[in-house]
Structure 1
């Protein structure tokens, strides 16, 4: 079972819900929880919870984490395969950056040695989080440096669509090489945050999900 964390100082439920939509629409079995729920368990109960999900053939466990509100000792034995950092540049300006920097660096240390970090790179300061880490990095945002970006947002024909663009070759968790290409993501609503769509899309691509066939997202 793949373990992933969505790390954000603010609400990260929409990113988790988008990921859930992508995976469930392609037949994947996924469980989503948050760090607050884990903090109410003992380490042994957390271990049993994860083992139970695996026995029930869940393929993904997504943990929503606020880096300021978690007892790190509860997660010391968890090694995440993927960590998604969904903070935006404007959000970083409103928090104590130094404290947040060390909190994120601490969580990155919980990554598996061959883990993947997915993060927004529209804020150059965010790249400082990665210094010294040798994990596989997938970036997203609205600039030429991002691995996953968008070419257009809006209506196409009779449906709302989001055009997601993979700008450079990436390797999936299974070792498949995905070449640069565009994906048309169908939406029933245009109320989704574009950054959250990109974060979820990057996660889907890394996990061998064809976004063109991932189904219609519901808000």
Structure 2
């Protein structure tokens, strides 16, 4: 693309890339001086030029002007960045049906459910916390909601690969940082809003406002799907221009689940959609997955997918790694790995653990809390575990440069009656849970899910992943098979 096709009176330079991170090497690129919480892109113009920038888009005065570089001053760098990314990648979101999912918990699950149901007949991509997937491509995740250039670039690649739709996780931070301003959403889905990211947003009011902006900006032909049972569910869509559709369990909704049976290996319920009723059988478990299913069904049905094309697929979902993943190596006790890292998420998993565990047996929980993040929720984690668990093993969970022991002690402030121990190595904590489990006990390993990294004192470090560690520990300590090493092959 020629620079003069983007900016009037600019030279006829070939632009090969966009960037806002001056550390990346991108020859013949446009550098956008984005202001973040910690850094201001205006400070790194010289570095960006060394790494290939031939055009600088800025809003504040720049002192050292390089005569060989084109400088374009704008009122709002982020607005320009979004608009130019959309132009540079040829408006990819306009060529796809975009399902955007936001909320504290359930984004990954709903996005993957939509993709799994739709993908057989409508080639569908996924972008989120777990991975980036489309066709036969599976890439590591970037951010829950990638940066502006990365996001448009991935959507462009999906279009080139023949995708017709995409399920995209939309985080509150991504919304606050305006990463999706020029994404053309067809369906916007709200899952729930509970305590999370308050280290970033400061208050629940600010957190809610960030989420609400997603629905406020939805186009008039879009569909806003919301959880009627959530305290924020109706308020979040009150100013949307899109068509509002509700789902829920406890309150009457457009898509409502009644007559629910939660089993050890699945769930049955009746789905009421206005005057129609459908019997639903699924291999998904736990109440929160009923909400995830309802959101997914409502989203797909609202886009014209018939119920008889949706319902038969609900009973044969492959397990999503790290999301209520049942680890089954034939052992006589339950082991569940989940990404839950918020008070509500942990409570939901522990409630399910209580449902499937006989009263005479134990729930053993392994979890921690992230370092340098939302300190207020640590004792709350302890209170929740104290209510549901019989043994608590506190361990590391992305401690960064905090001491694992100190984080664990803060969690323990909420533990009043349940026995707990601190095992700083997550690897050893899972081993200890497996070693102490008896027949029909339940082990809940929470916080990391399928993540194969740990943020420590010196940055991102490799980690096997809770799901893999659990499997290997069961083989070793229940069956006496193999040797265990905390290394990635």
The two structures share one fold, judged by TM-score above 0.5: yes
| Contact 1:23–1:30, Cα closer than 8 Å, also in 2 | yes
Measured in 1, the distance between the counterparts of 2:268 and 2:305 equals 18
Measured in 1, the distance between the counterparts of 2:123 and 2:197 equals 36
Query: How much does 1:40 deviate?
Result: 5.2
Query: How much does 1:86 deviate?
Result: 0.2
State the partner residue of 2:101. Answer: 6
| Contact 1:154–1:190, Cα closer than 8 Å, also in 2 | no
| Contact 1:79–1:110, Cα closer than 8 Å, also in 2 | no
State the partner residue of 1:217. Answer: 316
**Secondary structure of residue in 1 paired with 2:221:** strand
Measured in 2, the distance between the counterparts of 1:213 and 1:113 equals 27
State the partner residue of 1:197. Answer: 293
Q: Which sits farther off after the overlay, 128-137 or 31-40?
A: 31-40
Match of 1:112 among 219, 243, 248: 219
Query: How much does 1:213 deviate?
Result: 3.5
| Contact 2:175–2:213, Cα closer than 8 Å, also in 1 | no
Q: Deviations over 1:108-143 (max 9, x none)?
A: 234223111101011354322223322101100124
| Contact 2:228–2:251, Cα closer than 8 Å, also in 1 | no
CA gap 1:82/1:137 in 2 versus in 1, 3 angstroms: same
Aligned alpha-carbon RMSD (Å)? 3.0
Measured in 2, the distance between the counterparts of 1:94 and 1:64 equals 16
| Contact 1:153–1:162, Cα closer than 8 Å, also in 2 | yes
For normalisation by structure 2, the TM-score amounts to 0.37
| Contact 2:112–2:167, Cα closer than 8 Å, also in 1 | no
**Secondary structure of residue in 2 paired with 1:18:** helix
Query: How much does 1:206 deviate?
Result: 0.9
Aligned residues: 201
Q: Deviations over 1:132-178 (max 9, x none)?
A: 322101100124531110132238xxx853322112xxxxxxxxxxx
CA gap 1:30/1:94 in 2 versus in 1, 3 angstroms: closer
State the partner residue of 2:474. Answer: none
Measured in 2, the distance between the counterparts of 1:60 and 1:87 equals 24
State the partner residue of 1:37. Answer: 143
**Secondary structure of residue in 2 paired with 1:114:** coil
Larger Rg computed on CA atoms: 2
Query: How much does 1:7 deviate?
Result: 0.2
Q: Deviations over 1:38-84 (max 9, x none)?
A: 765553x5333323312322121111122135563332211211110
CA gap 1:55/1:183 in 2 versus in 1, 3 angstroms: farther
Q: Which sits farther off after the overlay, 206-215 or 139-148?
A: 206-215
CA gap 1:181/1:48 in 2 versus in 1, 3 angstroms: same
| Contact 1:184–1:212, Cα closer than 8 Å, also in 2 | no
Match of 2:183 among 75, 78, 81: 78
**Secondary structure of residue in 2 paired with 1:54:** helix
State the partner residue of 1:126. Answer: 233
State the partner residue of 2:272. Answer: 165
For normalisation by structure 1, the TM-score amounts to 0.77
Measured in 2, the distance between the counterparts of 1:186 and 1:27 equals 21
Higher strand proportion, which one? 1
State the partner residue of 2:327. Answer: none
Q: Which structure carries more relative contact order (alpha carbon 8 Å, separation 6+)?
A: 1
Match of 2:261 among 154, 166, 169: 154
Measured in 1, the distance between the counterparts of 2:217 and 2:143 equals 18
Q: Which sits farther off after the overlay, 137-146 or 193-202?
A: 137-146
Which residues of structure 2 form unaligned runs of 5+? 1-95, 130-141, 320-489
